[in-house]
Amino acid sequence: MAASNSDKSPREQEVDAGKEAVLAAYNNLLEATEHFKQAARAAGLDLRQEAGEQLVKGRDKAVAVGQEASDYVHQKPLQALGLAFVAGLLLAQVFGRR
């Protein structure tokens, strides 16, 4: 049998009010947590989509640069060989002095 508020002492009424406040705060926390989860999911989807677009753009750019390099090597093989030699020499100097 539940006693009415008038039958309870002020201390018991204060404890009951505190319990109700804690329960309300807990419910608000659960609701906020769910909103944060939904926002994180939405942001994650946006980031995944953007990352995928950047990956496609990067891959296309790499293919284009590779094709340009291949064309350059076919058009000017001696210059390409000289550039490769100089690049190798520089890399050997940089990494060979450890």
Task: pLDDT tens for the chain, 98 residues: list them.
Answer: 455 556 888 888 888 888 898 888 888 888 988 888 888 777 777 777 888 889 999 999 999 999 998 888 889 989 989 989 999 999 999 898 76
C-alpha–C-alpha distance, residues 79 and 97, integer Å: 27
Q: What integer pLDDT is reported at residue 1 of this predicted model?
A: 43
**Residue 44, domain extent:** 9-96
The answer to the question of residue 16 being in a domain is yes
CA distances, 81 to each of 59, 86, 92, 93 (Å): 26, 9, 16, 18
Tell me, what DSSP letter sits at residue 2?
P
pTM over 0.75: no
What's the number of domains the chain is made of? Answer: 1
Inside any domain, residue 4: no
Instruction: Report if residue 3 sits inside a domain.
Output: no
Domain membership of residue 2 (yes or no) is no
Amino acid at 70: S
